[in-house]
Amino acid sequence: MTVTADRTTAPRTLTLDALGRLESEAIHIMREVAGEFDRPVILFSGGKDSTVLLHLAVKAFWPAPVPFPLLHVDTGHNFDEVIEFRDRVVARYGLRLVVARVQDWIDDGRLAERPDGTRNPLQTVPLLDTIGEHRFDAVFGGGRRDEERARAKERIFSLRNAFGQWEPRRQRPELWNLYNGRHRPGEHVRVFPLSNWTELDVWRYIAREDIELPSIYYAHEREVYLRDGMWLTAGPWGGPREGETVERRTVRYRTVGDGSCTGAVASTASTLDEVIAEVGASRLTERGATRADDRLSEAAMEDRKREGYF
């Protein structure tokens, strides 16, 4: 659990630093879920948080394979690099990937495209439908409490009612490291093993464990245009409007989501160390910097969470 691990040397003593504690806590949470639930699933988008989640699952059950399938709610507004990465990682660990395509829900009329073309908020229905269809009873998410103030109130084991809704006023007290996974038929539990991690912890852990990420997390040149203070990429989801000009810039992504509303940040950080230095010095939260959907209103995230969003 420390970086110095080396299978060829004599047994070592394990000491826990701050990252080691976070890792141990996350592994403990995953093993509780494996022990108490019948049909868990890991939400996996290929983004950095879900990649860390999968890495922790691999460590938690080693040398046995990860005992959970993966679920990706695909907006269709993807970065090619991320989908390529997703499929490669799934193949590497020999896991089963369930993909719920927002496009399918739009095609058969269960969902309507939004006027602004953004599909992040449309993920909730396919997510809940798929959870119901596969009878998943525990759903791992990569959410962190430092991301946003409604998330700061989320439990590690967070009960969702039969409609998939979060009821913040009825959250169970969560005591010590004893997690209560009881739920009635039709209900499910969202589980957040990274609750106590900060963005910087995630990056430091990625560096320490040498975890591969999609290339768009590192600085690269890209054709972008400026909207609402964010650098957006043209794609199948649309492109610059009148008055918005495309420029070639050196950027990187801090989060990976729906391409229509996930912005890149101007950055020259092309290595892990440079990214860590940049994140440490940033004066913006990762959502504030790069997610148009979170800027919708004062309570945008809370409202989406109540409905059953990630």
Partner 1 sequence: MGDLLRLATAGSVDDGKSTLVGRLLYDTKSVLADQLDAVHRASVDKGLSTPDLSLLVDGLRSEREQGITIDVAYRYFATPRRTFVLADTPGHVQYTRNTVTGASTAQLAILLVDARKGVVEQTRRHAAVLALLGVPRLVLAVNKIDLTEYDQGTFEVIAKEFATYAAALGYTSDTVRTIPVSALVGDNVVDVSDRTPWYTGPTLLEHLETVPVEPDPHEAPFRFPVQYVIRPRTPEHPDYRGYAGQVAAGTVRLGEEVVVLPGGSRTRVARIDTRDGELAEAVAGASVTLLLEHEIDISRGDLLAAADDPPVLTDELDATLAWLADKPLRPGARVLVKHGARTVPAIVGELRTRFDEQKLSTTEYPESLALNEIGQVSVRTAEPVPVDEYRTHGRTGAFLVIDPGDGTTLAAGLVGAPLPVLGTS
Binding interface with partner 1 (CB under 8 A): 1-2, 5-7, 9-16, 18, 20-21, 23-25, 27-28, 31-32, 34-35, 58-65, 145-146, 148-153, 159, 168-169, 171-178, 180, 182-184, 195-196, 198, 282-285, 288-289, 298-299, 302
DSSP code string of 210-265: T----GGGS-EEEEEEEETTEEEE-BTTB---TT---EEEEEEESS---TTTBPEE
Q: Return the ∠ at Cα 296 (arms to 293 and 298), rounded to 5°.
A: 125
Pick the closer one to partner 1 by CB: 129 or 209: 209
Q: What is the CA radius of gyration of the chain?
A: 19
Other Cβ atoms closer than 10 A to 223 = 13
Please give the C-alpha separations between residue 152 and each of 28, 74, 155, 196, 233, in angstroms, as whole numbers. 21, 26, 9, 9, 30
C-beta of 306: minimal distance to partner 1 in Å? Answer: 9
Pick the closer one to partner 1 by CB: 13 or 245: 13
Pick the closer one to partner 1 by CB: 25 or 74: 25
Other Cβ atoms closer than 10 A to 241 = 8
C-beta of 192: minimal distance to partner 1 in Å? Answer: 11
C-beta of 30: minimal distance to partner 1 in Å? Answer: 9
C-beta of 35: minimal distance to partner 1 in Å? Answer: 5
Other Cβ atoms closer than 10 A to 177 = 10
What are the φ/ψ torsions at residue 58 (nearest 5 degrees)? -60, -45
Pick the closer one to partner 1 by CB: 210 or 221: 210
Pick the closer one to partner 1 by CB: 103 or 282: 282
Pick the closer one to partner 1 by CB: 152 or 266: 152
Per the CB < 8 A criterion, the answer to whether 270 and 217 are in contact is no
Pick the closer one to partner 1 by CB: 91 or 299: 299
C-beta of 167: minimal distance to partner 1 in Å? Answer: 11
C-beta of 268: minimal distance to partner 1 in Å? Answer: 20
Per the CB < 8 A criterion, the answer to whether 97 and 108 are in contact is no
What are the φ/ψ torsions at residue 112 (nearest 5 degrees)? -115, 140
Pick the closer one to partner 1 by CB: 133 or 273: 273
Compute the distance between CA of residue 86 and CA of residue 45 in angstroms, rounded to an integer: 7
C-beta of 42: minimal distance to partner 1 in Å? Answer: 16
Amino acid making up residue 243: G
The helix/strand/coil state of 50 is: helix
C-beta of 244: minimal distance to partner 1 in Å? Answer: 22
